[in-house]
């Protein structure tokens, strides 16, 4: 429906322009209006062809994609389209059908082309203006929709914090009760309590220090290890400097959770592999696991569709997520652009958890 309205607006604009031009010709040249009206009609048709060639083909493909050479070639071909279209209609077809032409006999094509560059140029500019305005409105509408979705997600997250707060306070109580009985159990409860504290941590921009996010992943791995004791094999490698960087909180954990949920964690020959590499402000995070085809955890997680949407909201045009599944091995690769913590730097660190 919306596209139909846009088409109607365009058709109405051209019809009004042509009607205005023809009426003007009839008023100024009442004795010999028909030849001029035919020429004005063909002139308008050529302008329309040039306009939509730029508006629908050249600008959408080349204007905002850093393809300057293609853009220049496209605009040059648009000018040529106008010249050829008008030349074929007014200098070739009209003499055969209507018995007149626009330019005098003997006019060379080179002179005709140079003269018509003046008439062809305005449509290149006008189509750019129309396309840019329409594209700006489209992007503003998309940004408004993204802001609404982000607000709704934040409200849903705030509502979900009621139970985690209760659980966090309960864990602190359980830690105090368990410590006299079993120090190992108490330490596990304390680590789980730390995870809950991190999950409830908030910041004005929704981001945390990357170093804390990495520590959270390590703590999560240690908590999960309690279920398997010595039969739990995870290779977690961190390369590059994680200090002085910021990342959206809990944006990496869904991929780790998914690997633990559906992967094989008790095979020493094929451990779950987690690799996080930082170079400058570019982060690469890979999670690879062999797929468990038999027993599967039925608990619900965040879900890949939700994390994909979250990445689109948090890192628009600043991330790339690829997921590969050959039936035996599941590989997730995430590239994203980090934000810096101003005034904080740190040395390069290489660490691993096995």
Q: Checking phi first, is residue 71 left (phi over 0); if not, alpha (psi -120 to 50) or beta?
A: alpha
Residue 289, pLDDT score = 93
Vertex 85: Cα angle to 79 and 91 (nearest 5): 120
Does the structure show a pLDDT above 60 at 341? Answer: no
Range of 68-72, 138-142, 237-241, 342-346 with top mean pLDDT: 237-241
State the number of CA atoms in the 13 A half-sphere of 136 facing the CB: 6
Cβ pair 202, 237 in contact under 8 A: no
Residue 320, pLDDT score = 94
Q: Distance (Å, rounded) from C-alpha 347 to C-alpha 339?
A: 17
In percent, how much of the chain has pLDDT > 70? 80
Residue 295, pLDDT score = 54
Residue 352, pLDDT score = 38
């Amino acid at each position: 429906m919306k596209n139909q309205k846009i088409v109607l607006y365009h058709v109405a604009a051209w019809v009004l322009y042509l009607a205005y031009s023809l009426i003007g010709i009839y008023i100024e040249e009442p004795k010999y209006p028909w030849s001029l009206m035919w020429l004005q009609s063909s002139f308008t048709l050529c302008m329309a062809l040039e306009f939509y060639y730029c508006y629908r083909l050249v600008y959408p493909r080349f204007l905002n994609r850093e393809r300057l050479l293609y853009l220049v070639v496209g605009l040059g071909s648009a000018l040529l389209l106008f010249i050829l279209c008008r030349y074929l209609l007014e200098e070739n077809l009209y003499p055969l059908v209507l018995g007149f032409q626009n330019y005098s006999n003997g006019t060379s094509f080179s002179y005709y082309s140079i003269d018509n560059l003046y008439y062809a140029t305005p449509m290149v500019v006008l189509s750019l203006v129309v396309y840019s305005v329409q594209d700006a409105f489209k992007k503003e509408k998309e940004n408004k929709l993204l802001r609404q979705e982000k607000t709704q997600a934040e409200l849903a997250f705030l509502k979900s914090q009621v139970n985690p707060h209760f659980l966090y306070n309960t864990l602190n109580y359980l830690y105090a009760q368990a410590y006299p009985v079993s120090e190992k159990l108490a330490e596990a409860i304390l680590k789980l309590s730390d995870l809950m504290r991190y999950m409830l941590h908030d910041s004005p921009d929704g981001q945390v220090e990357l170093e804390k996010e990495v520590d959270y992943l390590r703590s999560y791995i240690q908590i999960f290890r309690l279920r398997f004791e010595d039969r739990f094999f995870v290779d977690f490698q961190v390369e590059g400097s994680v200090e002085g960087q910021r990342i959206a909180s809990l944006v990496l954990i869904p991929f780790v959770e998914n690997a633990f949920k559906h992967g094989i964690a008790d095979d020493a020959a094929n451990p779950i592999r987690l690799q996080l590499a930082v170079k400058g402000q570019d982060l690469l995070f890979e999670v690879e696991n062999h797929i468990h085809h038999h027993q599967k955890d039925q608990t619900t997680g965040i879900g890949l569709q939700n994390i994909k949407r979250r990445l689109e909201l948090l890192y628009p045009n600043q991330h790339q997520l690829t997921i590969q599944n050959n039936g035996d091995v599941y590989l997730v690769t995430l590239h994203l652009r980090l934000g810096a913590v101003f005034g904080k730097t740190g040395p390069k660190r290489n660490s691993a958890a096995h």
